[in-house]
Structure 1
Amino acid sequence: DQIEYFARHLPNRNSAVLSLHTHNDRGTGVAAAELGLMAGADRVEGCLFGNGERTGNCCLVTMALNLYTQGVDPGLDFSDIDRVIETVEYCNDLPVHQRHPYGGELVYTAFSGSHQDAIKKGFEARETQNDEGWRVPYLPIDPADLGRNYEAVIRVNSQSGKGGFAWVLEKDQGLKLPKKMQADFSRHVQQVADELGRELNAADIWDAFRRAYHVQTHPKHFQLVRYEESRASDGTRIFAGTIAVSGQEQSVSGRGNGLISSVMGTLREAFGVDIDVVDYTEHALGSGTDARAAAYLECRAADGRTIWGCGIDEDIATASVRAVLSAANAAVVTPTS
């Protein structure tokens, strides 16, 4: 009100620059400056990251980037904010707090499961939106606009939810786990986090996934060596190949309505492993000539357990065969309480 009254009643207003100099003693330095601009002020005085006497002055970084997020060009360049922080800390001999808005080390990082899930969905929505507007929950600005990357946006510890490790696996390995498989894998992540007692990195999560679903691990009970698929005269598919069982190669064969059912028939007849397919999904990993494929199988074991399999290969058919063997390996593992 004071700013608006002063601006309206100041003689020769157009010849004056109405400047704001706010302090942060009540934690409202930036808010007061923003309201002052809306009331008619022309300029804001402050300091980078609010350094100043007592609780500091208006933070020009927060002020400028608040304007930026609302589509207003503040006229300041923070495209390399880490270099700005380095300079400020050197000159002032004071650290920038890790949770300082826009610049802190942790301000674009989510540990909470609900926050991670919302951020993950926000990034997914960006892939299909028809404009360039930034609308990712809990991230008021695109970190890339400040010279940051997305590597630390979601970090995983024992308190994280499904969205956290699903994001990490997708960004690090290209895997897009089905929702129900995320729920299954979460217990493995929780166990590893509890055992290590620290934040999990991408390598930890990938290693836990490989061990949980017998992906690219050696040794394991069932290991695909080679196979061929053919069609019988009655239209059924025949699987014939070599599977290593606990390191010993065996020639096996079986038939079914499709490749997956023929592999399951083989496992049932040759090894007594009885599992049924509940759901199947697949997707490409990458694009072009170097693309691979990932296949996911939800199965039900003879004892009623739900088990999951995952296969990765350059060929989608072989990826599905590996997924069946992944589920079979899970089926022969004695469940722990």
Structure 2
Amino acid sequence: MDATRSDPVFLAEMVHATIEAGATTVNIPDTVGYAIPSDFHRLIRYLFEHVPSINRAVISVHCHNDLGLAVANSIAAIEAGARQVECTVNGIGERAGNTAMEEVVMAVKTRGDLFNVRTGVNTKQIMQTSRLLTNITGVSVQPNKAIVGGNAFAHESGIHQDGLLKHAMTYEIMKPEDVGISKSTLVLGKHSGRHAVLDRLTSLGFQLGQDELDRFFRLFKALADSKKEVFDEDLMVLVGESIFREEKQRRYKVENVQISTGMFSPPMALVTIKDHERGNSEMFEVAHGNGGVDAGVTAVKRITGSAARIESFNLVAITGGSDAVAEVHVTVVEEYEGREIKAFGSAANIDVSIAGIHSFVDGLNKLEYMKIAGQHRQGLLNGMGNGKV
């Protein structure tokens, strides 16, 4: 039961007697996780050298992870001649757990030049099996867990990302596809270089001109300095911020806003919009809503036919007093070609409702140019700035 703390001579006698009695598999357990790799290797070799009948049975090992050495001890036992490893998916088990199946399997597969053995495990099912177990048990895998952790194939360092894009094996000893992961993850952050960011933009379907890229990277670095990881949604917003045009070239321009509201009457807004792509024709719409901003946004959506929505709405009073200038910042979201795109919109006005409506239109304009970039159109025009009233 606790072979690693047993007398080796006595243990060899017990293994021999067990095999003589007909056993075809004999397990050598490190039940309390006491062994270290050199000790365990020496013990297994001792058995092979002192048990006359040992070649008539498969020597198995069962290691616990109390010292964090379960996998290392199992690998050492394989080197010494063991041909069965008792292990568990994700290394789950009593106390600190057991030998992690996925780690042993991939160690044997990756370093086949040393072991000259194989497992017969379909490694492409490893990640799916790991996630299945997580769903069943409710026990999450730590992000930095080898093979199946969320960061196992994630790279943030700019040098690493650049090398990985040029030749994956530069910084990866295993293919993520071999364990059932579609591809490596380039974690974008303050250490990321232009190569990795450009690759992610391309994968998201964006192609920016040089001026737009320069503005994009300035915004990206500023954002990356303030948060640990930059996600795809963040990149989409930055694209909208970096592709800006002159006021006269923006697709939508708010010509007029009239709002009527009261304690006992539903808020109503009349909005007039000029559409640059429709020959600067003016269109107006009247709509009700839960407040002036909601009514105005509803009117704008009817005019433009947009299905965009405001995901977040932030209000800042720039000056003091009841006549303070209000600055509104919104995040506008829209479904486009099967994916969700986002853009920031901003505007300032003494009237909060008017500022909110202008900020929404500012976000719509940025979404329009994100769509242009996403379609890889050539000759992107320069400039689209923050909303101004």
**Which TM-score band applies after superposition, normalised by the shorter structure?**
0.5 to 0.7
Q: Matched residues in 2 for 1:69 and 1:136: separation? A: 15
Q: Deviations over 1:208-262 (max 9, x none)?
A: 35654x4xx5557889xxxxxxxxxxxxxxxxxxxx9xx99xxxxxxxxxxxxxx
Answer whether contact 1:98 1:105 (CA < 8 A) is retained: yes
Q: Is the 8 A contact 2:207 2:374 kept in 1?
A: no
Quote the offset at 1:39 in angstroms: 1.4
Residue 191 (structure 1) aligned to one of 192, 200, 222: 222
Q: Is residue 206–residue 375 contact of structure 2 (8 Å, CA) maintained in 1?
A: no
Q: Residues 219 and 82 from structure 1, CA distance in 2 versus in 1: closer, same or farther, beyond 3 angstroms?
A: farther
- Seen in structure 2, the aligned counterparts of structure 1 residues 58 and 159 have a Cα distance that, compared at 3 Å, is same
Larger radius of gyration, structure 1 or 2?
2
Cα distance between partner residues in 2 of 1:172 and 1:51: 37
Distance 1:91 1:157 in 2: 33
Tell me the CA shift for residue 110 of structure 1. 2.0
Q: C-alpha separation between the residues in 2 aligned to 1:21 and 1:188?
A: 53
1:36 and 1:175, CA in 2 relative to 1: closer, same or farther beyond 3 A? farther
Q: Is 1:169–1:175's contact at 8 Å kept on the other side of the alignment?
A: yes
The equivalent residue for 2:35 is: none
Change (3 A) 1:93 1:194: closer
Counterpart for residue 43 of structure 1: 84
The answer to which structure, 1 or 2, has the higher relative contact order (CA under 8 A, 6+ apart) is 2
Q: Counterparts of 2:95 and 2:237 in 1: how far apart (Å)?
A: 49
Aligned-residue offset at 1:103 = 0.9
Displacement of 1:99 after TM fit? Answer: 2.0
Match of 1:109 among 144, 149, 154: 154
The code of the aligned residue for 1:143 comes to: P
CA distance 1:220–1:36, shift in 2 (3 Å): farther
Aligned position for 1:149: 182
Q: Which residue of 1 aligns with 2:173?
A: 140
Check if 1:65 corresponds to 2:96: no
1:16 paired with 2:48, answer no
The structure-2 alpha-carbon separation of the partners of 1:314 and 1:96, relative to structure 1 and needing over 3 Å to count, comes to closer
Deviations 1:5-35 (A, max 9, x none): 2113321232111111222222221111112
Q: CA deviation at 1:200?
A: 2.5
| CA distance in 2 between partners of 1:10 and 1:177 (Å) | 73
Name which of structure 1's ranges 163-172 and 19-28 shifts more when overlaid on structure 2: 163-172
Answering whether residue 234 of structure 2 is matched by residue 204 of structure 1, we say: yes
Structure 2: distance between partners of 1:85 and 1:64: 13
Post-superposition offset of 1:154: 0.8
Hey, what's the Cα distance between the residues in 2 that align with 1:162 and 1:207?
17
* 3-state secondary structure, aligned to 2:61: strand
The residue that corresponds to 1:3 in the other structure is 44
Distance apart, 1:199 and its partner CA = 3.2
CA distance in 1, matches of 2:165, 2:62: 39
Unaligned runs of 5+ in 1: 124-134, 224-243, 249-310
Shift of 1:104: 1.4
Question: Displacement, 1:37?
Answer: 0.8
> What pairs up with 1:250-289 in 2 under 5 angstroms?
none
The percentage of counterpart residues that share the same residue type is 24
Q: 1:183 to 1:80 in 2, by over 3 A?
A: farther
Cα distance in 1 between the residues matched to 2:56 and 2:131: 38
User: Which residue of the partner structure matches residue 83 of structure 1?
Assistant: 128
**Following superposition of structure 1 onto structure 2, how do residues 154-193 of structure 1 map, counting pairs within 5 Å?**
154-173=186-205, 186-193=217-224
In the TM superposition, what is the alpha-carbon distance from 1:101 to its structure 2 partner?
A: 1.0
Cα distance change of structure 1 residues 313 and 115 upon mapping to structure 2, 3 Å threshold: closer
Contact 1:24 1:58 in 2 (8 A): yes
Aligned length: 222
How far 1:69 moved relative to its partner?
2.0
Contact between 2:206 and 2:374, CA under 8 Å: does it hold in 1?
no
Task: Tell me which residue corresponds to 2:119.
Answer: 74
Contact in 1 for aligned 2:144/2:150 (Cα 8 Å): yes
Kept in 1: contact 2:205–2:374 (CA 8 A): no
The answer to whether the 8 Å contact 1:78/1:84 transfers is no
Checking the alignment, whether the CA contact within 8 Å between 2:128 and 2:180 is kept in structure 1 is no
After superposition, the C-alpha distances for 1:64-121 in whole angstroms (9 at most, x for unaligned) are: 1111223464222242334312332355453222221111122222233333223223
RMSD: 3.9
Summarize the Cα distance change of 1:177–1:202 in structure 2 as closer, same or farther, 3 Å threshold: farther
Native 8 Å contact 2:216 2:241 kept in 1: no
CA distance in 2, matches of 1:36, 1:176: 55
Give distance in 1, aligned partners of 2:178 and 2:53. 40
Asked if the contact 2:58–2:84 (Cα under 8 Å) also holds between the matched residues in 1, the reply is yes
Pairing of 1:240-319 with structure 2 (within 5 A) = 319=378
